[in-house]
């Protein structure tokens, strides 16, 4: 079976112009172009379009979608990263809803309104104290400035890359690799590059991050979900990398 570009556009809720653009950038070629210049799509092309539309709904840009479809990116990692962003947004909105509900209730009762109740969920600096205590005010300020400058797709790409690194750590750990092995150290080299987006961590900083990943359940769960003991494996691999490659 074949469908014309007009019919495909209508059924997909998009436009012929969009489909032609997808072809121009190599994202979705038609099955054939008729002698009349019309473009026709078969079942394989429709399935590919379905994936494109799904990934677009998840917020991925066209270059990122091309990478997923070409197998250069892990689609599961992309989904996990998007889920993490949605969960963060859900938690933030839940706090705001609770804040407004509390404010409404106290206003109706004529009770005193407290700042911590009214403004909960509107402050995105919850981790400022913790980061500042661990690594100084500059680390918080520089990291916050850098993250704020990223677009949504860039933020998602960062999360996808971390998910991929974590998954590779988990696989290496479960398959019996040692944290000092070449395989684990290559993954750790990628981890160090990922952590160096704002500024390259020093030896003690990088090793300290590994310790935190293993000791703090908030971070450890991101690794242990790929297999029991992965967070400890990451800690040991990062410590070895720091000892071998870094200086304070």
Domain assignments of the chain as residue spans, ordered by start: 3-69, 151-245
CA 243 to the chain's CA centroid? 29
Whether the Cβ atoms of residue 172 and residue 222 lie closer than 8 Å to each other: no
Whether the Cβ atoms of residue 111 and residue 102 lie closer than 8 Å to each other: no
In which region does residue 147 sit, left (phi positive, over 0), alpha (psi from -120 to 50) or beta (all else)? alpha
Q: Which residue has the tokens 């109706």?
A: 108
What pLDDT score was predicted for residue 120?
54
Residues in the chain predicted with pLDDT less than 70, given as ranges, are 58-59, 71-86, 88-89, 92, 113-144, 146-148, 152
Q: What secondary structure, in 3-state letters, does 233-248 show?
A: HHHHHHHHHHHHHCCC
What pLDDT score was predicted for residue 241?
95
What pLDDT score was predicted for residue 154?
77
Helix (H) or strand (E) holding 32: strand 32-33
Instruction: Give the bridge partners for 33, in sequence order.
Output: 39
Within 10 Å of residue 68's Cβ, how many Cβ atoms? 21
Q: How far apart are CA 59 and CA 96, in angstroms?
A: 24
Whether the Cβ atoms of residue 172 and residue 233 lie closer than 8 Å to each other: yes
Within 10 Å of residue 104's Cβ, how many Cβ atoms? 10
CATH fold label, 3-69: Multidrug-efflux Transporter Regulator; Chain: A; Domain 2 (1.10.1660)
Q: Single out the residue of 20, 84, 22, 82 nearest to residue 52, CA to CA.
A: 22
Long-range contacts of 30-35 (CB under 8 A, 24+ apart): 30/5, 31/2, 32/2
Sign of the C-alpha dihedral, residues 2, 7, 9, 13? Answer: negative
Instruction: Retrieve residue 152's tokens.
Output: 């949504």
CATH fold label, 151-245: Globin-like (1.10.490)
Helix (H) or strand (E) holding 78: helix 75-109
What pLDDT score was predicted for residue 97?
77
């Amino acid at each position: 079976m074949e469908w014309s570009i007009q019919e495909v556009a209508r059924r997909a809720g998009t436009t012929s112009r969009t489909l032609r653009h997808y072809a121009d950038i190599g994202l979705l070629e038609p099955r054939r172009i008729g002698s009349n210049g019309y473009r026709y799509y078969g079942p394989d092309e429709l399935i590919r379009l379905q994936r494109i539309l799904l990934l677009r709904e998840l917020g991925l840009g066209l270059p990122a979608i091309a990478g997923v479809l070409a197998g250069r990116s892990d689609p599961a990692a992309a989904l996990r990263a998007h889920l993490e962003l949605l969960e963060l947004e859900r938690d933030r909105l839940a706090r705001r809803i609770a804040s407004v509900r509390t404010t409404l209730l106290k206003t109706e009762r004529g009770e005193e309104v407290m700042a911590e109740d009214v403004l909960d969920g509107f402050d995105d600096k919850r981790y400022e104290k913790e980061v500042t205590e661990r690594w100084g005010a500059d680390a918080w300020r520089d990291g916050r400035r850098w993250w704020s400058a990223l677009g949504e797709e860039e933020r998602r790409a960062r999360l996808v890359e971390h998910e991929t690194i974590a998954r590779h750590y988990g696989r290496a750990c479960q398959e019996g690799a040692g944290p000092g092995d070449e395989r684990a150290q290559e993954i750790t080299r990628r981890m160090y590059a990922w952590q160096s987006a704002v500024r390259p961590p020093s030896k003690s900083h990088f090793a300290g991050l590994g310790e935190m990943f293993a000791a703090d359940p908030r971070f450890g769960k991101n690794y242990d979900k790929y297999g029991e003991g992965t967070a400890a494996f990451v800690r040991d691999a990062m410590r070895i990398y720091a000892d071998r490659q870094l200086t304070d």
